[in-house]
Amino acid sequence: MIPAIGMVVGILVGLLFHPTVPVWMQPYLPIAVIAALDAVFGAVRAVLDGIFNDKVFVISFLSNVVVAAFIVFLGDQLGVGSQLSTGVVVVLGIRIFSNVASIRRHLFHA
C-alpha cells in the first residue's frame, strides 16, 4: 500500500515541478521506465504466488533499470541503439504481458 501511495506522490510531484530530462539521460529513461514497470508487475505476481520478498523486489527493480539502460548504452556505442531499444521493449513487453496474465489468473481465475 505504501509503495502505491509513493508512486502516486511521485506522479503528483512530476506534474507539479515540470522536470526536464537531462540530455545524457534521454535515451535511457524510457527503457528504464519500462524495465521498472516490469519489475513492479513481477512483484505483484510474486505477492500473489506467495513468494514475495522485499529485498528481492528492490534488487530486481534496480538491476532491471540498470541492465536496460546499459543495453541501450551498449547499443548506442555499437551503432544499433534504436534496434536494441526496440528489442528490449519487446522483451519487457512480453514479460509484462505474461506477468499480467498470471496476476489475472490469480485474482479472477480467468
Partner 1 sequence: MSGGATGWRRLVRMGAPRATKANALATVLALLLGFAIVTQVRQTRSEGLDALRQTELVGLLDDVSQRSDRLDKDAAQLRRTRDELVSGGASDREARKAARERLSSLEVLAGTVPAKGPGITITIGDPRHEITDSVLLDALQELRDAGAEAVQIGPVRVVASTYFGTAQDGTVQVDGVGVRPPYRILAIGDPHTMAAAMAIPGGLAENVRQLGGHPTITQSQTIHIDALHSPPAHRYAQPVPTATPTQ
Q: Does 62 bind partner 1 (CB under 8 A)?
A: yes
Task: Work out whether 41 is an interface residue with partner 1 (CB under 8 A).
Answer: no
Integer angstrom CA distances of residue 41 from 37, 74, 75: 6, 26, 26
All three cell numbers of 10, joined, read 511521485
Rounded to a whole number, what is the largest CA-CA distance in the chain?
46
Nearer to partner 1, 82 or 98 (CB): 82
In the structure grid, which three cell numbers stand for residue 46, read together?
510474486
Give contact residues for partner 1 (rule: CB under 8 A). 1-15, 18-21, 26-27, 29-30, 32-33, 36-37, 40, 43-44, 47-48, 50, 52, 54-55, 57-58, 61-62, 76, 79, 81-82, 106-109
